[in-house]
Amino acid sequence: MSESDIKIEVNDLTLIFGQKKTQALKMLDEGKSKAEILEKTKCTVGVSKVNFQIKTGEVFVIMGLSGSGKSTLIRCLNRLNEPTSGDIIVNGQNITKESNEKLLDTRRTEMSMVFQKFALLPHRSIIENAAFGLEIRGEEKEARLAKAQEALETVGLKGFEHQKPSQLSGGMQQRVGLARALANNPEVLLMDEAFSALDPLIKSDMQDQLLDLQGEMKKTIVFITHDLDEAIKLGDRIAIMKDGVIEQIGTAEDILKNPATEYVEAFVEKVDRKSIITAGTMMFKQPTTVLLGKEGPESIIRKMRKNALQVVPVIDAQRVFKGFLWLPQVLRAEKENASDLMPYVTEDCPSVYADYTVEEMLPLTPGTKSPIAVVDKDNGKLLGVVAQTSLIIEATKYDREEIQQLKEQAIEQ
């Protein structure tokens, strides 16, 4: 990660609520627990020595249960909550040290926020709501209405300009909230539980729309949620927070495969891993292979015996995957003294790309005992092999019934 890639950098950020902040901060430095500090000083530690960096164009999800300090943390980024100590550096500017005027300017131009309860002005029309941020920063009426119109069209609310917020459904109201944030054309979007108040179906729609928009806009998004599935769907990286402390930061797979603490582990246990773990992470990366045209049946048999293999993947000189070669076929080739092995290779076999999930790979397994080849999306080169057993293990951990069904299907065939 080079310096210029970093949009937001947070160093040792701490926020303490209460009167005796200095004393509480000192106790925190001494490594005292939250409970001790509360008892001694009556101060609550909202955010405790948090560090992270967010890259330009990244969707960074901060997730935790209520009371974990995630909403307090996001409000530090635009100083709606005043941090007690630590630095927040956005675009190389230290937000925590900005004067009030500069801070207003930052809020008006660099960061916009979307709220859980939409926070629209009930007495204004939709377009006036969308233009609110521009109005605050003093743009001319015509210019701001034009930009607001554009933002409303982006979120798919054309035709609703002159309605009042109360006439719109929750999902549409949040679209207005999003349009209001986008109209300002900020580099950073702060989204505080933006979709948490919506029905599951609408929520999923909004998530898809946000991902679509993000594909075009490439904003830097800080997204707060208490919903791990949402975090996994949206986040390039996820920070898991508990009691004001960040427990782990990483991609969804990092966190699911290697939970850093018991808390994270307990958290991720509930998640449906089938839809997250991909072929790329579970594949065996350096399988024994057969290079087409270079190796004869005898050397292959020796290789397979040595590694106790029943089947090996076959590649050509460019490492492009050709198919699987099973031991009985090799033995036949040896008997028939064949020089070209290609007729003996089973070409009709499952192959996937690295980003296929377990869920997507499961339907490929019935009716075949073949492992699954993982190939490069662009050039078909072999990246690795997923054995059926590891696929079944990955799936059975969490859903026995489905695996039972698959087995039955396999037997029937």
Partner 1 sequence: MEKIIDIGQYIEVAVDWLTENFSGLFEFIKNFGNGFIEGFEWLLLGIPFYVIILLLTALAYFKVSRSSALFTALGLVLIYLMGFWDETMETLALILVSTLIALVQGVPLGIWAAKNNKVDKIVRPILDLMQTMPAFVYLIPAVLFFSIGKLPGAFATVIFAMPPAVRLTTLGIRQVPADIVEAARAFGATNRQILQKVELPLATKTILAGVNQTIMMALSMVVIAGMIAAGGLGEKVLEGINNLDIGLGFESGFAVVILAIILDRITQALGQKGNNDKLNNLKSKLNKR
* Rounded (10°) angle between helices 388-396 and 400-412: 140
Q: Starting from the edge strand earliest in sequence, which strands make up the sheet with 188-192, in order?
A: 111-114, 188-192, 220-225, 59-63, 237-242, 245-250
**Cα 39–45–47 angle (5° rounding)?**
165
Query: What is the full DSSP assignment across 146-173?
Result: HHHHHHHHHTT-TT-TTS-GGGS-HHHH
Handedness of CA 98, 100, 103, 109 (dihedral sign): negative
Residues contacting partner 1: total by CB under 8 A: 27
Interface with partner 1, residue 119, by CB under 8 A:
yes
Point out which span in 88-96, 103-111, 264-272, 405-413 binds partner 1 (CB under 8 A).
Answer: 103-111
Considering only the stretches 98-106, 218-226, 293-301, 362-370, report the one whose residues sit in contact with partner 1 under the rule CB under 8 A.
98-106
Measure the CA–CA gap between 162 and 335, rounded to whole angstroms. Answer: 82
Q: Binding of partner 1 at residue 120 (CB under 8 A)?
A: yes
Q: Rank residues 136 and 211 by Cβ distance to partner 1 and give the closer one.
A: 136
| Smallest separation, CB 365 to partner 1 (Å) | 50
Piece of 33-41, 107-115, 218-226, 335-343 that binds partner 1 (CB under 8 A): 107-115
Q: How many contiguous H segments (helices) and E segments (strands) does the chain have?
A: 18, 16
Note whether 105 binds partner 1 by CB under 8 A.
yes
**Binding residue (CB under 8 A) for partner 1 from 9, 87, 98, 135:** 135
**Residues ≥6 apart with Cβ < 8 Å to 391:** 282, 358, 361, 362, 365, 372
Q: Quick one: DSSP state of residue 346? A: B
Stretch that binds partner 1, among 50-58, 133-141, 232-240, 324-332 (CB under 8 A): 133-141
Which of 113/315 has CB closer to partner 1? 113
11, two tokens: 């160093």
> Near partner 1 by CB under 8 A, which window of 131-139, 207-215, 231-239, 362-370?
131-139
294-313 binders of partner 1 (CB under 8 A) = none
Rule CB under 8 A: choose which of 26, 123, 218, 400 binds partner 1. Answer: 123
Least separation in angstroms between residue 368's CB and partner 1 is 56
Contacts of 292 (CB under 8 A, 6+ apart): 314, 315, 316, 317, 322, 341, 342, 345
Q: Quick check: 133 binds partner 1 (CB under 8 A)? A: yes
Q: At what angle do helices 327-336 and 297-306 cross, to 10 degrees?
A: 150
Segment contacting partner 1 by CB under 8 A, of 104-112, 212-220, 267-275, 393-401 = 104-112
Quote the least distance from Cβ 181 to partner 1, whole Å: 9
- The only residue of 32, 49, 55, 108 in contact with partner 1, by rule CB under 8 A: 108
- From 110-118, 306-314, 361-369, 380-388, span contacting partner 1 (CB under 8 A): 110-118
- Residue 112 interacting with partner 1 (CB under 8 A): yes
Write each residue from 168 to 207 as x if it is in contact with partner 1 (CB under 8 A), else as -, in one continuous string: ------------x---x-----x-----------------
What sections of 42-125 are H helices per DSSP? Answer: 70-77, 100-109
Residue 143 binds partner 1, judged by CB under 8 A: no
Asked whether position 398 contacts partner 1 by CB under 8 A, the answer is: no
- Pick one of 26, 40, 97, 117: the residue that binds partner 1 (CB under 8 A): 117
The pair of structure tokens assigned to 196 is 């948490």
Report in angstroms how near the CB of residue 224 gets to partner 1 at its nearest: 13
> What angle separates helix 21-29 from helix 34-41, to the nearest 10 degrees?
150
Nearest to partner 1 of 135, 399 (CB atom): 135
- Transcribe 181-233 into DSSP letters: HHHT--SEEEEESTTTTS-HHHHHHHHHHHHHHHHHH--EEEEEES-HHHHHH
Q: Are strands 220-225 and 188-192 parallel, antiparallel or unpaired?
A: parallel
Nearer to partner 1 among residue 184 and residue 365 (C-beta): 184
Residues that bind partner 1 (CB under 8 A): 78, 80, 104-109, 111-113, 115-117, 119-123, 132-133, 135-137, 180, 184, 190
